[in-house]
Each structure stands twice: as structure tokens, then as C-alpha cells.
Amino acid sequence: MHPRRPDGFDGLGYRGGARDEQGFGGAFPARSFSTGADLGHWVTTPPDIPGSRNLHWGEKSPPYGVPNTSTPYEGPTEEPFSTGGGGVQGQSSEQLNRFAGFGIGLASLFTENVLAHPCIVLRRQCQVNYHAQHYHLTPFTVINIMYSFNKTQGPRALWKGMGSTFIVQGVTLGAEGIISEFTPLPREVLHKWSPKQIGEHLLLKSLTYVVAMPFYSASLIETVQSEIIRDNTGILECVKEGIGRVIGMGVPHSKRLLPLLSLIFPTVLHGVLHYIISSVIQKFVLLILKRKTYNSHLAESTSPVQSMLDAYFPELIANFAASLCSDVILYPLETVLHRLHIQGTRTIIDNTDLGYEVLPINTQYEGMRDCINTIRQEEGVFGFYKGFGAVIIQYTLHAAVLQITKIIYATLLQNNI
């Protein structure tokens, strides 16, 4: 389980927060909270939108209200983009620069959470459909079944449960912030990290996934439940069902429903592994891109437009690569996790073989190990990859949006020079 957008570059040492600015050695200096300015340290700033800040290698995002005094990467000292003129033209370029950084990041988030949602819906339906004879491993069959669902049930069949996915992300971010404020568990890892800090940080992530787990389960049901028998539920139905799952009330479930305690291990395992893989790949890809940009600056072969593109797109590309790799690597585990969460909830899903009709979920897995063995014996190895074609479509769409955004931004910069 994980939120659709990875946690940026907070993990494994890319960007330090307020604690990083305090220093690395010894205890943190004591401070009094008698003034209004000091109280600002208790406010947790929201996560950055990827691409919204121009960070060079070695720089960190400064805490709110503190000027950035960090030393940029050792490269050319001149500005990467200069209009050659002052006054109104320079101000216009600076405004375009700020607006573009925000717009590029916003386009990436919109693609991940909105445009890609139909792929997420079909991917999950294929994963939990143990009846399916067609595994939809390629994007061609996925497009065909999407068209069938849209024709028989309307556009809502591909956009169901989108509101609940945002609720799960909100619960995850809120739980992480609250737990980090009231416990010594660090929300970010310092550059000079230690194994203890890594362990405490991953413990914080684990507790966060446990808190969000019942809401994730409710969101999963909303995204795979067929529109044919689906009632018009409100946007807060996910919260209601999640709380009901914890206290044992709400919609009646069958005896095959697995208790939440038995779902903790696979849920935390998937979430932590996804976070670790994403963080490592993000840092690795960003390191390669920053070195490439630095070498091009040394060779003085970079145009002003390319310099501005290099300021924003490395972070987005690293985020894209990290999300893609972690989803592909952990896809079999995600299939097992979704089947365990959906079992016993009396959920009716669409027939992904025909594009019409509905099917019940009547699995009887006893746990994670039994689920893995049953899928391998009855559906084969490719049974773990049902619906994988939707992942190909999802990230192809995301890459296309990034490329189109890059072209538009380069055109705006070229016209503004």
C-alpha cells in the first residue's frame, strides 16, 4: 500500500528538513517557544510539488522563513537563464520562470492522480479477478476492455473511487505528520545518516501504513466494485467504511473476511519496500542527471533554454523512473495484497474477459503464503501479473504528458528571450 505519488526526495538523504539545518552533531540546541516566531517551528509545511523549486546539486529546501544560504553545486557561476535586458523584461522572465516551475509539477501530479486513474481501476480489477482467463498483459487488450466498460456502463466505470484515493493520500500524510510530531521518529533522513535513523524513519513509515490500512481497503473496494450494482455513495464513504472496518461495524461481511491484524504484515511490507525502492532510484537517477548537467555546463555547450529545462525536469524524471520501477518490481506482491484486502467483503466486480456482466469474489485464502501458493498453482506465474498492460498505458501516458509539457515550456522560454 502506498500513495500514488511517492514521497518526493525526503527519504534516504536527498533533502533535509529543519532538523538538517540545525546541524548534525550533538543534541539540538534548546529553544524557547515564548515568541510567535518560535511557534512557527511547530507548523509542518506541505510537501513540495515536483519541479516547483530550482534546486542544484547539494542544495536543500530551506525551512519556512529561513533564507537559503546553502552553497550550490560547483559549476558555472552565471545565471542559467538571462534575458539580456533589464526592467520589465527581466521581471516578466522571472514570473514566467516561477509559473512554469509550478505548472510543470502540477501537470505531473494531475497525470499521476487523475488521467491515470482509469488504468488504476482496470489494473486492480484484473488483479483481484481470479476467474479471468485473459490476463491482459499487453496494452492492446487493456484498451479494448476499457472501451467495452465505457460503452456498457458509461465513463463513470473508469473513474470510480478517485475521490477515495485522495482521501487515502490525505490520511497517510496527516498520520505521518502527527506521529512524527509526537514521537522522536524522524520524518526525514539527514545527509549524514546512521542505521538507527534509517530504522526509526522506516518505523514511522510502517506506523503510517498501519493507520491508513483500513481506509486503503475501503478505497480498493470502491475502485473495483462494478458500476452495475453500485449505489451512489458519497465522497466520505471511504472514511465511513474504514472506521467501520476497524470497529467491526458497517456493511456486513462474510466469514471469509480476513482480520486487519493478518493484513498488517503484507500491507507494511509492500509499503516499506515501495518507499525504499522509490527513494533509492530517485536519488540514483537524480545523481546521474545532475552530473550530466554539470558536465554540460563545464563544456559551455548548454543553451539558456536547456539550462532552464535542466533546472526543473531532472526531479520530475527521477520521480517518474522511481515510481515506474517500484510498481513493476512489486506488482506480484501488490496482486497478493489486493486479493487479501478484497476477500470476504462481498464485492462484485466486472467481468474483465467479456467487458460486461459481473462476477463475485469468493476466494478463501488463509493468509499471504496460502494466497501466493494458490495463485502459482491455479493461475501460473503470469497470474501475479494480471492487468500489467494497464501499467504500460499508465506510464506511457505519464511520459507523453511530461514530454508535451517540456515542449510547451521550451517554446515559452524561446519566445520570451
Torsion of CA 53, 57, 63, 66, to 10 degrees: -90
Q: Is residue 341 part of a domain?
A: yes
Q: Is residue 351 part of a domain?
A: yes
Looking at residue 354, which CATH number applies to its domain? 1.50.40
Q: Is residue 33 part of a domain?
A: no
Q: Nearest to residue 76, comparing CAs of 283, 307, 305? A: 307
Q: Is residue 407 part of a domain?
A: yes
- Report the distance separating Cα 338 and Cα 186, nearest Å: 29
Q: Please state the pTM of the whole predicted model.
A: 0.74
> What's CA 42's distance to the chain center, in Å?
26
Contact between residue 242 and residue 218 where contact means Cβ atoms under 8 Å apart: yes
Give the range of the structural domain holding residue 288, as residue numbers without chain letter: 110-415
Q: Is residue 152 part of a domain?
A: yes
Taking residue 14's Cβ as centre, other Cβ atoms within 10 Å add up to: 20
Q: Which amino acid is at 243?
A: I
Q: Is residue 55 part of a domain?
A: no
Q: Nearest to residue 115, comparing CAs of 409, 406, 411, 390? A: 390
Give the cell for residue 204.
514511522
- Report the distance separating Cα 12 and Cα 285, nearest Å: 14
Q: What sign does the CA torsion over 73, 76, 77, 81 have? A: negative
- Report the distance separating Cα 318 and Cα 204, nearest Å: 24
Contact between residue 212 and residue 175 where contact means Cβ atoms under 8 Å apart: yes
Q: Is residue 164 part of a domain?
A: yes
Q: Is residue 315 part of a domain?
A: yes
- Report the distance separating Cα 149 and Cα 152, nearest Å: 5
Three-state secondary structure call for residue 307: helix
Rounded (5°) CA angle 93-282-223: 95
Give the cell for residue 408.
510547451
110: left (phi over 0), alpha (psi -120 to 50) or beta: alpha
Contact between residue 113 and residue 5 where contact means Cβ atoms under 8 Å apart: yes
Taking residue 141's Cβ as centre, other Cβ atoms within 10 Å add up to: 17
Structurally, the chain folds into a number of domains equal to 1
b/e 62-96 (16+ beta carbons within 10 angstroms → b): bbeeeeeeeeeeebeeeebbebeeeeeeeeebeeb
- Report the distance separating Cα 370 and Cα 155, nearest Å: 36
Question: Please, where are the H alpha helices in 81-231?
Answer: 88-110, 117-128, 139-153, 156-159, 162-182, 195-224
The percent of the chain in helix, strand and coil, each rounded to the nearest 5, is 60, 0, 35
pLDDT truncated to tens, each residue of the chain (417 aa)?
554 444 443 444 434 444 444 444 444 444 444 444 444 333 334 444 444 444 444 444 454 444 444 444 444 444 444 444 445 555 555 666 666 667 777 777 888 888 899 999 999 999 999 989 999 999 999 999 999 998 888 888 888 989 999 999 999 999 999 999 999 999 988 778 889 999 999 999 999 999 999 999 999 999 999 988 877 667 788 888 889 888 876 666 678 899 999 999 999 999 999 999 999 999 999 999 888 877 766 666 556 666 666 667 888 889 999 999 999 999 999 999 999 999 998 899 999 998 888 999 999 999 999 999 999 999 999 999 999 999 999 999 999 988 888 888 778 777 765
